[in-house]
Every structure is written in structure tokens, then in C-alpha cells.
Amino acid sequence: MPMRMPDPDQDVLSRRAEIIAALRRIVPGEGVIAEEEELRAYECDGLTAYRQLPMIVVLPETTAQVSEILKYCHGGGIKIVPRGAGTSLSGGALPLEDGITLGLGKFNRILDIDYDNRCVTAQPGVTNLAITTAVAGDGFYYAPDPSSQIACSIGGNVAENSGGVHCLKYGLTANNLLGVEMVLMDGEVVRLGGKHLDSGGYDLLGIVTGSEGLLGVITEVTVRILRSPSTARALLIGFPSSESAGDCVAAIIGAGIIPGGMEMMDRPAIHAAEAFVNAGYPMDAEALLIVELDGPAVEVDELIGRVETIARENGAQSVRVSTNEDERNNFWAGRKAAFPAVGRISPDYYCMDGTIPRHRLSEVLTRMTELSGQYGLRVANVFHAGDGNLHPLILYDANTPGELEKAEEFGADILKLCVEVGGVLTGEHGVGVEKRDLMGEMFTEIDLDQQQRVKCAFDPTQQLNPGKVFPTLHRCAELGRVHIRSGQTRFPDIPRF
């Protein structure tokens, strides 16, 4: 699958042997990978449709080494692609032919658990789940929980501003991040934030979160941990239409209830999941809602009752309430296995990630069904219903010539539809290379230029992860130019320069 990337620098490619030697001086031992066989493992991330062998892979172990590598590459005009666990679904870690993939996998230690300040400091290669595991015994957890939490790294979570099923109530990574240590492209090490709240100056930590590895290489992360809720219970609610399910979601929030999780599945997703895990989902439902309430037991019990009433008022066909942990986990089992379940009924699937204003849901689903007919490809929907984040899974067969391209076109149409109804291209998976060329659907040239100037503020030579996020790469000098139009009349008494 071709994807337009920056032209490889022939000069850099011709210096490959010399670059390898220099990297080996910085990272001794087996930390520099140059054999094709071994490079193969790094040719793609979670977006497997795009592959590119990196020029070299380097796996440093210390911040000092990262700094040395970047300093060396900065001087030598060599591009860097940072990589966490490689689980990105948008191609954020897609290598460059003339670039060094800098893997943070060896940064895998938790450095500090600080209960008094309710935070954990970890190296970026530590997995999301490992942070929760480290503090769970003491009754704490880290709230953002992307589906890939067993594998994805906390550094990658920062780069992508990852979400998860709990983010309506507990926020995305950005809302749970306190500080980072990060290395800039010129090798300078900076600390943003710490164990305190907010920034005294510009919120650089905020802009770095979700910057997709274009601003710096993160070498340390401090996140807030929360006390685990004492109880969690879930409702499994079947509806005769996605419209009534959508109305129910609106009514729950309208009643002042913010559930810990609120997930919706459409009929194809329900059937695929049920066939896979036998969770006891209602097979006659057109839409299924899982609503989880967490907090003190007395609160959860009362809210369960309120949600059940609201569900029945909104036309629920079936309502089941979990009475123990096994049952609750069982409700979730189908939802959590939705992607592999769909993988069983189709050779391949392509996962989309748009967000829409919730009240446009049934309209979007209707138009998606039309598009599905038009493209001749089936689609199953799972949906973070509370925050409007849709994950349509387009089913296709990569072995059928032209079908991947068709799936991608279908996907692009879905995302354009999301933008058209007032939503956005990506809710939590990131732009990467995947949605890069769709950015113009949401932003004007002026909007994108302003975003790129932020990139230039951190990396004026544009060597960090180029070719991601922005559809057109402008040189920083060009972006920095000030365009002044003459004809001003408001400031007549001011001498002009």
C-alpha cells in the first residue's frame, strides 16, 4: 500500500554504515539493529496496511543516550521516528526509509510510587496496565484504559492522548498526566510539569500530549493515580433501535448521571461478539447498551435503579443488572472482545475512530448503512456512547484485489460524515499517516499552518517523525514569515516600520 512520505535523503542513505557505527558508540551491545531480518519486526505498528523497513533501529536505555542520539542525528540531518509499544492504530510509528526508529522498549521501569502525592513516575516503555498493577494492591489505579492497555506503553499514551472506556467520567491521558521528561531534537533535555498541578507559564505539557511524537522523545512520565472505586456494577440493556438506545444515553446524562462507562454495540457487533464469547447478549436487539456505574456501594445501587427506570422509559426491550463481579465481567466480555470477534467473521477489518455529537447518531448510522450497501462491504459498530466516539469496523478481505482500497475509501467517507455532522476525524486513535490526508476536511490551511508552527517551535529542522499528522510539509522558515497587508487605517498616528 503506497503512502506518500517525505522523499528519502540519498546522502543519509549513503552514510548508513557510518551512522550505524556512530550509534553503536552511543548505545553499546545489542541496542543498534541493522540486519534486515531483525528490522522486519519494526516495519509497521498496529496499522498493518502500511509497511516500511526502517533504515536502522536503536533501542537506548538511558535519557543520556537518547540525548546523544538526537544530538548526533540533529547534526547529521537524520530523521527520527519514536516508537513505544508499536500499537498505534493510525501509523504513528510507521518507519521512514531514511530514518532511525528510536524504540523506547528498554525504558521499562516504574521509578517512583508516591501515594502522598497520588502519582506514579514511570519510564515511557512501561505498559498502561502495569501502572495500575503496581498500585492495585494498595487500592489505587490509573484511570485511562485504552483497549490495548496490556500492550500499549504509557509514553505512547502521552504521544497519542489515549482514551478508553472510562474517559467520559475520568478523562483522557491529558487530564491525568502531571509531568514528563522529554528530549528535544537538538538533544536538550527538558522537564515539563512534575508532581504539582498546572503550568506556571504556557501549558507545554498540554500541547505535547497528543503531539504524536513530532515534538520530542518522552523519557519519563508522571501520572495521577486514583483510589479505586469501592463498587462497580453494570446494566446490559437491549433496544429495538439504535435511536432508542441513543435517546436513552441522552436521558441518562440529562438526568445528571455520568456513568463510569457507557458502551453501545449495533446488531452486527452484538452477533459477532455473542458468537465469540457467549456473553448472553440479547440477539433480537438492534442496539445494546452496557452502562457501568462505579463509586460507593450505596450510590451505585441507587443509580442502577435510576438508569433502569430511564432505560424502560426509553423503550428498552431487556434489562439485566449485574449482581456480582463475574456477571459484570461477563457483560463486558463481549464488548472487550468485539474486535477479535469481528476478526472471526471476516478475514480482515478496518477500525475507524470518529467522534460525533451524540444526537446525530441515528442519522450517521443510517447513512453508514447506505454507504455499506454502496461499497458492498459490511460494517459493525461499537461506540463509546457517552462521549460520541464511534468505532465502525469495516469488514473486508485483503486477498481480494481492490478490497483494501475500497475499505479505505469507505472509511474516509465515514470520517467525512463525522466532520459533516459537527464531529471530528479521530477521537482517540490519532491522525498518524492514516488520517493525515483527511485533515483538510476539518481544518483550513491557516489552521494547519498554525499547528505546524507549534511543531517548528519544538523541532525547527523537522526531523522528528516527519510525514505524520500534517498533509503538507511546509518549511519552518516559510511558515514563520509574517504576511502583512497594507491599507491599515486604524492606527494612523503610528509611524510605520
Residue with smaller CB distance to another protein, 280 or 443: 443
Question: Does 264 participate in binding another protein (rule CB under 8 A)?
Answer: no
Among 256, 401, 402, 477, binds another protein (CB under 8 A): 256
Contact 325, 275 (CB under 8 A): no
DSSP string, 261-281: EEEEEEHHHHHHHHHHH----
Enumerate the β-bridge partners of residue 114.
119
Residues from 226 through 245 that contact another protein (CB under 8 A): 227-230
Q: Which residue has the cell 509611524?
A: 495
Instruction: Provide, rounded to whole angstroms, the least separation between the CB of residue 486 and another protein.
Output: 6
* Contact string (CB under 8 A) for another protein, positions 476-495, x = contact: ----x-xxxxxxxxxx--x-
Residue with smaller CB distance to another protein, 43 or 449: 449
Cell of 453: 508552527
Residues from 41 through 80 that contact another protein (CB under 8 A): none
Contact 229, 219 (CB under 8 A): no
* Contact string (CB under 8 A) for another protein, positions 386-405, x = contact: -xxx----------------
Among 34, 257, 275, 398, binds another protein (CB under 8 A): 257
Instruction: Provide, rounded to whole angstroms, the least separation between the CB of residue 10 and another protein.
Output: 31
Contact 130, 84 (CB under 8 A): no
Residues from 411 through 430 that contact another protein (CB under 8 A): 422-430
Instruction: Provide, rounded to whole angstroms, the least separation between the CB of residue 168 and another protein.
Output: 7
DSSP string, 288-337: EEEEEEEESHHHHHHHHHHHHHHHHHTT-SEEEE--SHHHHHHHHHHHHT
* Contact string (CB under 8 A) for another protein, positions 74-113, x = contact: ----------------------------------------
Contact 67, 91 (CB under 8 A): no
Residues from 187 through 226 that contact another protein (CB under 8 A): 188-192, 194-204, 206-207, 209-211
Question: Does 39 participate in binding another protein (rule CB under 8 A)?
Answer: no
Cell of 495: 509611524
Question: Where are any strands of DSSP class E within 416-459?
Answer: none
Among 166, 271, 358, 468, binds another protein (CB under 8 A): 358
Contact 178, 199 (CB under 8 A): no
Number of residues that bind another protein (CB under 8 A): 106
Q: HEC states along 172-190?
A: CHHHHEEEEEEECCCCCEE
Question: Does 469 participate in binding another protein (rule CB under 8 A)?
Answer: yes
> Residue 307 is which amino acid?
V
Instruction: Provide, rounded to whole angstroms, the least separation between the CB of residue 255 and another protein.
Output: 8
Span interacting with another protein, options 147-155, 233-241, 297-305, 392-400, rule CB under 8 A = 297-305
How far, in Å, CA of 294 to CA of 255, rounded? Answer: 17
Instruction: Provide, rounded to whole angstroms, the least separation between the CB of residue 178 and another protein.
Output: 9
* Dihedral sign of CA atoms 293, 296, 299, 304 in order: positive
